[in-house]
Structure 1
């Protein structure tokens, strides 16, 4: 079983991880279940609780909660900090709407690459599977997956930055009130 160390790290680092979801080449349902087992809150960012599938806004899996704005996300993180919790929270941000059509096409390539990896045995090679799948998806999409990847990164960074600004507004009064900080 190829389990990313990032998942376990979320149990001991009080961070807000802003992500485009679980890479669609992975088992999204199993990953969400594993995060729940670890006690890591998973929230979607937006009006839907449907967890994004990286290149697609739809995965068929729901997160327990959603937040619709940076202030609410910051409040979740700040509440965890005030309660002395040492775990992080995952905020899943769906692909921007203008990249959704390309995302659907890329998802088809992902599905094809996964099927090929199962047929040729790559899927059973643990950590070798992910790089092979990513390279194959890039090949099948003639590089379009890279363009969407950049858009996903930029969008997640934008949302993360907005959450950080709102969190700072909450944290500064707390630090000023506590001279030991």
Structure 2
């Protein structure tokens, strides 16, 4: 992707020119992840969380076929409320640009655009990954293969618990995606603190993550992404019994309604929201705000070393 194909918000352009810390943010959470009008409010809270650390937020999305790095309030509101906003992975970007479409970028697309823009840190909620029964459906998120070739630090709460977590971790290992836990050796499961799987490495501070970024550059190991898995505190996670029951019911409805492909995640997240009477939504918001804060701290620490 060419840097010249991107349009920059004024605040982000100034920050990148001056070498100040910038954090990339996705826009799928605005158009597909949260209901209206919560999506507009939360989008602003996420940006505020980044700013509170001293970093500059760069929410990425497509407006009328143009990729914008640093959406302003009006463009965020447009993606939050417009009809027919496309969910854009990397493969969709050129088609959507040619069709002059409005689009919200997934983890994969946001990572690719951010790296092209020279942004090294990205905050999101949870990654996509290998779906359940992928041995039959071959359903695997493009997040994984994109992260394998994109040099960026992604702060997240692990992968969404609706996925096959074990298979996703195996795929990330095969693809060479580095995964470290933040103050934990247990891999988080998005809504829940512990997915049940162990990690090889952990880091304890934003400064340690910045040191790791510097070491990767020194070694020339900058081809793929580093995933920083930041779990919710136990007292902030979704009740585990409620989570397990809702997930089982949601998966049954998924099969019953024959939902596949990119529609799976929004369908299940919407079901979680309704079935938990909003508890999962509140958890989702806590996740992304905590990740935005940590990502901002990492960006600031990394900028201080440069």
**TM-score interval, normalised by the smaller of the two chains:** 0.7 to 0.9
- The CA deviation string for residues 130-178 of structure 1, in whole angstroms up to 9 with x for no partner, is 22211111110112211111110000011111111111122x2xxxxxx
- The CA deviation string for residues 110-149 of structure 1, in whole angstroms up to 9 with x for no partner, is 233124434x2636x2333222211111110112211111
2:157 aligned partner? 20
Helix, strand or coil at the partner of 2:198: coil
Is the 8 Å Cα contact of residues 93 and 156 (structure 1) preserved in structure 2? yes
**CA–CA distance in 1 between the matches of 2:288 and 2:196?**
22
Is the 8 Å Cα contact of residues 29 and 61 (structure 1) preserved in structure 2? yes
Give the one of 40, 45, 61 matched to 2:197: 61
Runs in 1 of length 4+ with deviation above 4 angstroms? Answer: none
Give the one of 253, 260, 265 matched to 1:130: 265
Count of matched residue pairs: 167
2:131 aligned partner? none
- Assess, with a 3 A threshold, how the Cα gap between structure 1 residues 122 and 58 changes in structure 2: closer, same or farther: farther
- Assess, with a 3 A threshold, how the Cα gap between structure 1 residues 105 and 162 changes in structure 2: closer, same or farther: farther
TM-score, with structure 1 as normaliser:
0.84
Give the one of 289, 292, 297 matched to 1:157: 292
- The CA deviation string for residues 45-101 of structure 1, in whole angstroms up to 9 with x for no partner, is 01x21100001111111122111111111111121122222211000000134412x
Larger RCO (CA within 8 A; separation ≥ 6): 1
Could you list the runs of 5+ residues in structure 1 that have no partner in the other structure? 173-181
Is 1:166 matched with 2:166? no
- Aligned-residue CA RMSD in angstroms? 1.8
- Assess, with a 3 A threshold, how the Cα gap between structure 1 residues 106 and 23 changes in structure 2: closer, same or farther: farther
Could you list the runs of 5+ residues in structure 2 that have no partner in the other structure? 1-137
Structure (1 or 2) with the greater strand fraction: 2
**CA–CA distance in 2 between the matches of 1:129 and 1:145?**
17
Structure (1 or 2) with the greater helix fraction: 1
